[in-house]
Amino acid sequence: MRHVLRDLELRAEQPTPGGVALVMVAVANVALWVAARPSGLPTERFVGEICGAEAVLLFSCTLVLATLLPGIERAFSGLDRVVVWHRRAATAGLLLLVPHWALATSSPDRYATGIGPGLGDLALLGLLLLGLWSLAPNLRAARWPGPVRRLARTTYERWLTPHRLTGIFVAAAVAHGALVDPVLHRSTLLRAVYLAVGSIGIAAYLYRELFARLVVPVHDYTVAEVRRPNEATLEVSLEPVRAPIGFAPGQFIVLAFGGATGWERHPFSVASAPGNRQLEVAIKAAGDYTRRLRDDLSPGTAAKVSGPFGGFDYRRGGRDQIWIAGGIGITPFMSWVRSLDRSSDRDVDLYYSVANRAGAVYLDELATAADAHPSLHLHVVNSSRDGLLDAQTVVNGVSNASEAWVFMCGPPPMMRSLDRGFRQLGIPPGQIRWEQFDVR
């Protein structure tokens, strides 16, 4: 359970307008239900119905966040933060379903007739299954039954399609509450608010599934070059069919390649500098789809690019900076490095952690860039030989570490461990920025 609750952790992070607004809306909904409580309803039953209504609100919020609209990204200071709050809201909603189910059945219900109870069962089972599937990689799967272990090992590609059914189960939950909740039958105000909240969530889901691709610009590209620097990595250069997409260093795109099994949309960080006409991405062959790309992708393949997204930008930090990349997480830093010029006033220590040097990418170019820019100091950490990189090692190797701004990108467990370490060593939370983009 500790690993599930970690998704709800509201760390001492820089507050964002979006995060503050989401918390305030959730609190206001509970306050409204308490203030407008109808008389004559047992307390246990009323608390159960509050939990259900709050779960519907939180799930509706997750559907709104999943639209990936630019205004939402700005409100949360980056799409990675949107994903974090999406996960937090969904996890909180799942936890609320348990007391809702237990308490809402604590007293007789004259409205529990017709299809209402069936819709509730469908929503409960569907949301719990999808939620468990999403949280499975964060659980200590070895301690759980075999089905949970299999869910934890499921690839992103196989998880994504069922996850898109979330909106259907939320719609079932909204209809269930409207039909059977005795509080909503007794309070016109609460019923109106409940239906408005549910309708917003369902509308966001329909927009995401049916209309988003018509609204969000999609740019046509063609694969110009494919490089395979090692067995697990693919470097792809894309040539625009028309005008190239504009982006800031450190941002990522959603990319789909054509072909018989193509047009699956996946996020990839951009490695090229904004001034280049060609767009470059580095892809790690970690799942079924990316392994197929590693084996089969060839020049001339059509590609579609959406974006850019993200607010991972070193220019928002101070003069002294620490950049930490883990594995393929070097990609956004390559865009930063390639964008450096003589006018750069940041003093940077770049730590690049790799399992072994054979699996590293861009090493020669990084070394050349460090020679060309005296303010860029490169540290390559071979974890198979030197052990895992930790915050104390970084701080020991950097002058003025307490004043430094830290930017990180890599595997989520590595980032969480370093984040905790830097905070314990006294680096202010507002000076630690890492791409928390973990799609599950």
Q: What is the pLDDT of residues 35-53, one digit of tens each?
A: 999 988 888 989 999 999 9
Whether 375 is covered by a domain: the verdict is yes
Same domain flag for 171 and 86? yes
Q: Which residue has the higher pLDDT, 430 or 195?
A: 195
Most confident of 108-112, 350-354, 428-432: 350-354
Overall average pLDDT of the 266-276 stretch: 89
Q: What is the pLDDT of residue 221?
A: 95
Q: Is the predicted pLDDT of residue 286 greater than 80, yes or no?
A: no
Residue 21 lies in a domain: yes
Instruction: Evaluate whether 130 touches 162 at the Cβ level (below 8 Å).
Output: yes
Mean pLDDT of 247-268: 81
Of residues 51 and 108, more confidently modeled: 51
Question: What average pLDDT does the segment 251-263 reach?
Answer: 78
Q: Are residues 361 and 257 in the same domain?
A: no
The β-bridge partners of 386 are none
Averaged pLDDT for residues 189-197: 96
Separation between Cα atoms, residue 130 and residue 123, nearest integer Å: 11
Same domain, 206 and 225: no
Query: What CATH number is given to the structural domain containing 261?
Result: 2.40.30.10
> Which of the four pLDDT bands, split at 50, 70 and 90, describes residue 5?
very low
Residues 329 and 259 in one domain: no
Which one is predicted more confidently, 12 or 430? 430
Q: In the listed set 215, 234, 254, which residue is the last one of a domain according to the structure? A: 215
**In this structure, are 38 and 184 located in the same domain?**
yes
Residues 21 and 164 in one domain: yes
Residue 440 in domain: no
**pLDDT per position as a tens digit, 124-170:** 888 887 777 666 555 554 455 555 555 555 555 565 666 778 899 99
Q: Are residues 344 and 304 in the same domain?
A: no
Calculate the average pLDDT of the chain: 84
pLDDT beyond 60 at 228: yes
Looking at residue 408, its pLDDT comes to 92
Question: pLDDT value at position 93?
Answer: 93
Q: Is 50 within a domain? A: yes
Domain-located, residue 439: no
15 and 91 in a common domain:
yes
Instruction: Look at residue 147 in the predicted model and tell me its pLDDT.
Output: 58
pLDDT-derived band at 295, boundaries 50, 70, 90: confident
Name the residue with higher pLDDT: 369 or 439: 369
Residue 321 located in a structural domain: yes
User: Among residues of the chain, what percentage have pLDDT more than 70?
Assistant: 85
Asked whether residue 63 falls in the same domain as residue 171, the answer is yes
Same domain, 31 and 131: yes
Of 177, 199, 215, which one is at a domain's C-terminal end?
215
Q: Note the pTM of the prediction, 2 decimals.
A: 0.74
For residue 31, the model assigns a pLDDT of 97
pLDDT (mean) for 397-404: 80
Instruction: Examine the fold and report which residue of 183, 215, 247 is the final residue of a domain before the chain moves on.
Output: 215
Boundaries of domain holding 226: 221-309
318 or 307, which is more confident? 318
Strand order in the sheet with 218-230: 266-269, 252-257, 302-309, 218-230, 233-240, 279-284
Give the chain's domain count: 3
Residue 303 in this model has a pLDDT that exceeds 70: yes
d(Cα 410, Cα 107) in Å, to the nearest integer? 50
Residues in CB range of 133: below 8 A, 6 or more apart: 151, 154, 159, 162, 163
Domain of 323: which CATH number? Answer: 3.40.50.80
**Residues 73 and 155 grouped into a single domain:** yes
Question: Mean pLDDT, to the nearest integer, of 409-415?
Answer: 87
pLDDT on residue 332: 92
User: Is 376 within the bounds of a domain?
Assistant: yes
Of 5, 6, 106, 10, residue with least CA distance to 52: 106
Confidence check: pLDDT of 210 > 80: yes
Peptide bond into 308 cis (omega under 30): yes
| Residue 4 confidence (pLDDT) above 50 | no
In a domain, 125, yes or no: yes
Confidence of residue 307 (pLDDT cuts 50, 70, 90): confident
231 and 208 belong to one structural domain: no
CB 94 within 8 A of CB 131: yes
**CATH of residue 208:** 1.20.120
pLDDT of residue 416: 86
pLDDT at 13 over 80: no
Residues 6 or more apart whose CB falls under 8 angstroms from that of 277 comprise: 239, 240, 244
Res. 260: pLDDT tops 60: no
